[in-house]
Chain A
Amino acid sequence: MAEIATLSVLPPTAPEDASTAGGGAAGLARFVARRLLRLVGSLLVLVTATFGMIHLLPGNPVRAALGQDATAAVVAARTHQLGLDRTLVDQYFSYLHGVVTGNLGVSIVSSEPVSTILGARIPATLSIALPAFVLVLLVSLPIGLSMALRTRHGRGERTRVAFIGVTGLVNSVPDFVWATLLSAVFVVGLKLLPVAGDAGFTSHILPVVALMLGPAASLSRIVRVEATKVLESEYMQAARSRRLPWRLLYLRHALPNMITASLTFSGMILSGLIAGTVLVENVFAWPGLGTEISQAVVSKDYPLVQGILLILGAMVLAIHLMVDLVLGILDPRSRIGES
C-alpha cells in the first residue's frame, strides 16, 4: 500500500538536461539557494493557511471560545484584544510580523502567550520524535538492504514472502493502536515501564517504539525494492563485467545509489512521524504539542491551535528540507529537479 501511495504522489520526473545540471561546489550552492527559496514559499503558504483558518470559521471565533454565557461586552473586549476587529490586510501583516518576531498571540483560555506554551511543549515532542526519526533510519536501511541482497534475482522466495508479510502486518497497525497495545502489555500487564507522562528515560521507550514501528516497516520495504532495482541495474551489470571485487561492487557502486534512491521516498514517511507524535502523545499523556493541540481544538483556543499547527507544519517542512539537502549532497542528479 505504502509503495503505491508513494509512487503516485511523486512529482513528474524532471527532464534530463545535461547543460543545466550544476556540478561541483557552485552547483551545490545554487541548489541549496533554490531549495531554501522553496522553503520560504512553503512557509508562507503555511503561515497564510494558519492565519486564514481563524477567518474561515463559521460565526465569531471569540464567541465560540468564550461560550454562550460570556457577555457581549466581554466578547467585544476580547475581540479587540486579539485584533480581530481590524481589517483583514492589517491583521495579516501584523500576524506575519508576529510570526517573524516570535509573538504568536495569547491563548484565549489561559491568557498565557502562545510562544511560552510552545516553548514548554516543544522539547517534550522533540524528545520522542528525534529518537524515532533516527531509529527508523537505523533500522530500516540495514533490514531493507540485507533483504534486497537475500532476495535479488528471484532468490530467497520464502524470505521475501516472510518479509513482506511481517512488514505488512506491522504497517497495518497505526501508531496510536501500537501505543495502546504496547502499554497494555508492558505497563498494565507486565508492569515493566512507567505509567504515563514524562518520568525520565524509561518513559520514552514506549512512545518512541510506537512511533517508529510503522514507518520503519514501510521504509524497509521501500529500501528493499529500491536496492533490488539497483542490484538489477545495467550499471551494476557493467561493474560486474569489469570483475570488481565485491567490496567495490557493493560498497562503492551499489550502496550510494541504494541509499539515495531510498531517501528519495523517505521524506513522506519521516514527516509522517510528526503527525504520529500527536496521536502517540495522547495515548501516553505525554506533555508535548500533541496533547496540547487536541485540548486546544476542543476548547476552541484558536491562537494556540494556530501556533501549534505552525510549529508542527514547520517541523514537517524541516524534515523534507533535510532529506532534500542530504540527497543533494549525496546525489548530484537530485539537484536537477530543483528549479
Chain B
Amino acid sequence: MIKVEQVYKTYINKHRNFLFFSETRQTEAVCGVDLYVNPGEIVGLLGMNGAGKTTLIKMMSTLLSPTSGTITIDGMDVVKDALKVKSIVNMIAGGERMLYFRLTGRQNLEYFGNLYGLRGSLLKDRINYLLSKVGLEKAADTPVERYSKGMKQRLQIARGLINDPKYLFLDEPTLGLDVSVAKRLREFVQELVHREGKGIVLTSHYLEEIEELCDRVYIANNGRIIMHDTPKNLVFNITHGNVLNIVVPEINDKLNNNLRTLIELHNANIEISSNEEGILISIKSKKDITTEVVQTIYNSNVNLISLYIEKPKLEDAILQLENGVA
C-alpha cells in the first residue's frame, strides 16, 4: 500500500535577475497531503495546472524527496529505502520523451530491463510478453524514430512494466493520442489492475478517462487535496445531482405553485427560460424527482413537449470547483 502522510514539498530555486544578481525563491508545490493507494485499485489525481500532481507522483516514485512528512510503499520509506522502493515502482509519462529514438523498441526494452538487473531468457521472455501485450511485436525491431505517436506511447507502457512493478504511476499517459489508441490503453490499464493486481496512480487532463478508470479520485488545488471520493460521489456532491429538463408550452399559476412547493420540499434548484419549443424548466436536485415533477405537470393540466435528464460529468464538477461554486 502507498501511504502519503502530511507531505510537504517546497522547491528552493535561484532566480537570476540581472547579470550576477540572483535571489532565492521558494515555491510550495505540495502542502500537507495525505493519500493512500491499495494494490489492485486505480486512484486518480486531478487538479489544474500547477496543482502539485506531478510533484506528488515524483515523490512517490522516489525521484523527489519530500521537504517534510512521510511516504511509505509497502512499509518502505521512499527516502530511506529508496533502492528497494525503486524495484517495485515505475512511472509512465505521456508525450514522446523518455525513449531512445535511434534504438528499436526491443533495444529500448532491453536497456531499461538491464537497469533493473534483468537479463538472459528472463528478460527476453518479459520483452516478448510486453511487446505482444501492447501490440508492437511486428514493429519490435524498427527504430523508435519511425514509430507513430501511439506506438511510442505503447512502447512507453511496455517500458514502464519491464520490471513488473507492483505500483505504477501514470502521468498523463494518453496525452495527444487518438481516440482508439487511448481506448485500448485504458483497457490495458484496467487489465493491469484487475488481473495483475497492480496499484495505479493516474493523472490525466481527460476527465472522462479518470471517471472511467478510477476507483477513487483525489482533487488537488494549489498543492492541497481539497476533495477525495469515488468519481460518482464527487460528481454528485459537487454538482448537486442530475438536471431534469422539461419543455412545456405554457406555465399556469397552478403549475408554478406546485413546482415551487416540490422544489422547496426536495431542496432543489429551478431555472425557467424559453427556447424554440416552448418554456424550458431546468430542475437540479440531489434526489431523482422526475416522477413527482411529471405528476405535478399532469395534475396542472399542462402538456409535456419533451423531457430529458442531464447527468453531470466529472468535468462539470471540476469546472464548478474551479469557479468556486462548490
* Same complex: no
| A residues apposed to B, CB below 8 Å | none
| B residues apposed to A, CB below 8 Å | none
